[in-house]
């Protein structure tokens, strides 16, 4: 497989998520934050941050998290996970439950995550020879 993104529109997410030879990573999460809607279905998947475990219900540490770039240039993390994952939530009775979410992050944090997870830094940020 080549390291080129398929030329498709954001509405056809299947090929778009194969960006930079990433295995298909489907995640359908959307949130409205500050009056703006952010959705994994319209954003570009830049890097898979975590993909562990097999099931939210069977594995408390299960997690799937991706780094996304919205069409308007806002970076965000989106994911889902088991009760003890980053995305787990506390229930009213104090116990933990599986959850999902979307979190806006800065360009600096996005670049750090791309570098840390061997993502395609140069596709999104300028870099110079060391």
Number of domains in the chain: 1
Q: In 35-46, which positions are buried (b, 16+ CB within 10 angstroms) versus exposed (e)?
A: eeebbbebbbbb
- Domain of residue 109, residue span: 10-123
* Residue 34 within any structural domain of the chain: yes
pLDDT 10s digits, 52-82: 876 666 778 888 999 999 999 999 999 999 8
CB 125 within 8 A of CB 106: no
pLDDT in the model for residue 26: 81
pLDDT in the model for residue 130: 77
pLDDT at 10 over 60: no
* Residue 129 within any structural domain of the chain: no
* Residue 38 within any structural domain of the chain: yes
**Residues 27, 44, 123, CA angle at the centre, nearest 5°?**
135
pLDDT in the model for residue 55: 65
CB 31 within 8 A of CB 77: no
With a pLDDT cut of 70, the percent of the chain lying above it is 78
* Residue 1 within any structural domain of the chain: no
* Residue 84 within any structural domain of the chain: yes
* Residue 118 within any structural domain of the chain: yes
């Amino acid at each position: 497989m080549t390291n080129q993104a398929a030329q498709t529109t954001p509405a056809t997410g299947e090929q778009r998520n194969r960006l930079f030879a990433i295995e298909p990573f489907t995640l359908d999460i959307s949130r409205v934050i500050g009056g703006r809607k952010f959705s994994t279905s319209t954003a570009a998947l830049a890097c898979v941050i975590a993909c562990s475990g097999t099931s939210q219900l069977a594995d408390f540490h299960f997690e799937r998290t991706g780094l996304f770039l919205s069409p308007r240039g806002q970076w965000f993390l989106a994911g889902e996970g088991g009760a003890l994952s980053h995305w787990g939530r506390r229930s009213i009775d104090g116990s933990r439950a599986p959850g999902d979410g979307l979190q806006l992050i800065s360009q600096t944090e996005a670049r750090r995550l791309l570098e840390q997870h061997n993502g395609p830094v140069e596709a999104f940020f300028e870099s110079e020879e060391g």
